[in-house]
Amino acid sequence: MKRPAKANQNGATVREIPDLPARFDAGGAADLAPDGDAISCEGLHLADFEWTGRKAGSLRLEACLVERVRWTGSEFGAVTWKDVRLVGCDLANVRAHRMNLVRVELIDCRLTGLTVRAAEWQDVLVQNSDARFLQMRGAVLGRCEFTGSDLQEADFQEADLRAALLQGCQLGRADLRGARLRGTDFRRSHLEEMLVGVTDVDGAIVDPAQAMLLARLMGLEIR
């Protein structure tokens, strides 16, 4: 039975967790199609193999547990994941034209340089992950949580991050210019050198120290 979405300390509804089966069938590299083909996996436990530097038209995962799989440097036309948990996986320098995620968790993953041209994420958790240089310009990120992750120099320009959580993250040189940030919770994150416009942070949630830092970044003089 799928658990209901929880509420944060402000009473706002946040992400739903993945609806995963109690048991999975065992899967492996043999379940992935050759280069250029569509890949589709459902109800599988995929673990401990490499699929690096490859190309596929699409990668569809549903109700899957994925552990310690390396996709490094691979390219996909479309990535569609629903009710998926990834633990200790490597998606560094993966490129995707479209990436649609629903109820997905990325825990202890390497997302360095992941580049997505058109992204729509709903109820996604990125936890304790290395996401430096993540390229998500114009992404729509509904009820998403980034916790304890390194997002330095990530590109979220023009992204819709309304009501997202970015807590305990490193956001140095992350580019959020033009992003929609009303209700976005930045508390406990490091915002030094974050790139953001004066009007972009209207309605964002920050602590007093962060408010003073943002004021300085915007050229305000506090006396």
Q: Is residue 99 part of a domain?
A: yes
Chain center to CA of 21: 23
**Domain, as residue range, for 145:** 80-223
3-state helix/strand/coil string of the chain: CCCCCCECCCCCECCCCCCCCCCCEEECHHHCCCCCCEEEEECEEEEEEECCCCEEEEEEEEEEEEEEEECCCCEEEEEEEEEEEEECCECCCCEEEEEEEEEEEEECCECCCCEEEEEEEEEEEEECCECCCCECCCCEEECCEEECCECCCCECCCCECCCCEEECCECCCCECCCCECCCCECCCCECCCCECCCCCCCCCECCHHHHHHHHHHCCCCCC
Q: Is residue 19 part of a domain?
A: no
Burial class (CB in 10 A: 0-12, 13-18, 19+), 4: exposed
Q: Is residue 4 part of a domain?
A: no
Q: Is residue 26 part of a domain?
A: no
Question: Residue 124 is part of a domain; what is its CATH number?
Answer: 2.160.20.80
Q: Is residue 51 part of a domain?
A: no
Q: What is the mean pLDDT of each run of 10 residues along the chain (223 residues)?
A: 49 80 88 78 94 93 97 96 98 98 98 98 98 98 97 98 95 96 94 88 88 71 54
Q: Is residue 155 part of a domain?
A: yes
User: For the chain, how many structural domains are there in total?
Assistant: 1
**CA nearest 121: which of 105, 108, 102?**
102
- Report pLDDT for 28: 81
Residue 213's identity, in one-letter code, is L
Q: Is residue 73 part of a domain?
A: no
Q: Is residue 159 part of a domain?
A: yes
CA distance 67 to 62: 14
- Report pLDDT for 149: 98
- In angstroms, what is the C-alpha Rg of the chain? 18
- Report pLDDT for 31: 77
- Report pLDDT for 211: 82
- Report pLDDT for 76: 96
Tell me the whole-structure pTM to 2 decimals.
0.90
Are 166 and 144 within 8 A, CB to CB? no
- Report pLDDT for 138: 97
